[in-house]
Amino acid sequence: MRNTLRILSTLLRYPDADVQQAAGEFAALLTDECLLSTAQNAMLQPLIDQLASGDLLDLQEAYVALFDRGRSVSLHLFEHVHGESRDRGQAMVDLRDRYAAAGLEIAAAELPDYLPLFLEYLSVLPPQQALAELAQPGLILAALAERLAEKQAPHAAVLLVLAQLAGAEGSAAEIAPADDPDDLAALDKSWEEEQVRFDAPAAPGAEAACPQAAAMVARFQSPEPVRSPAHG
């Protein structure tokens, strides 16, 4: 399960040369671990192929245009839960504490609610606990899958697979509004929805992060600190 979660994390990150070099191995690693079905692996293949063979600058520009120019498909989970309210700060602290309890160190510039980082945290937990914690934002994952599918983004497959693993396929929460900064009514309505909280404590005896034998991990994944690539 560990490699699968780390690959899903990587598929959602800003693409760089290391990710592109390793992408060709993802399909075999996913098949070997047997967590996902044949159909789920097939859903992920277009994005894997795109990362492996696409022009890197084009991939980076597309990523920024998709994820960094609006809130509607933000990969920061609490953006869809707390918005800019004070509750978000405490939720960040609580989540960071859970990472620390699992033996993970987060770079100072990281936000704990960044989905790829959350998936790396889940990858060091026992499988049953990892799936239980993944289920907590399951409705948000399902909603993001729908939003990305509407944009015809290949990343929609990753969110759909995560929603399926979380048991949330076919359900969705109200998340950050569509990217229309002039639609104040939609913004207000978004934050009137009941908040979804991440309340489960970190699992006792959670596994400490350790290097993987897989080439993906050897090339660009280190157990500590847990970081996401900086990008502009």
pLDDT in tens, 40-80: 999 999 999 999 999 999 999 999 999 988 788 999 988 88
At 94 the pLDDT is: 82
pTM of the model: 0.74
pLDDT tens digit sequence for 132-189: 999 999 999 999 999 999 999 999 999 999 999 999 876 655 565 555 444 445 444 4
User: What percentage of residues in the chain have a pLDDT greater than 70?
Assistant: 69
What are 76's strand-pairing partners?
114
Kindly indicate the confidence band of residue 30, based on its pLDDT and cuts at 50, 70 and 90: very high
Domain boundaries, the chain: 2-220
Kindly indicate the confidence band of residue 11, based on its pLDDT and cuts at 50, 70 and 90: very high
Integer angstrom CA distances of residue 169 from 54, 82, 141, 210, 224: 30, 23, 9, 31, 32
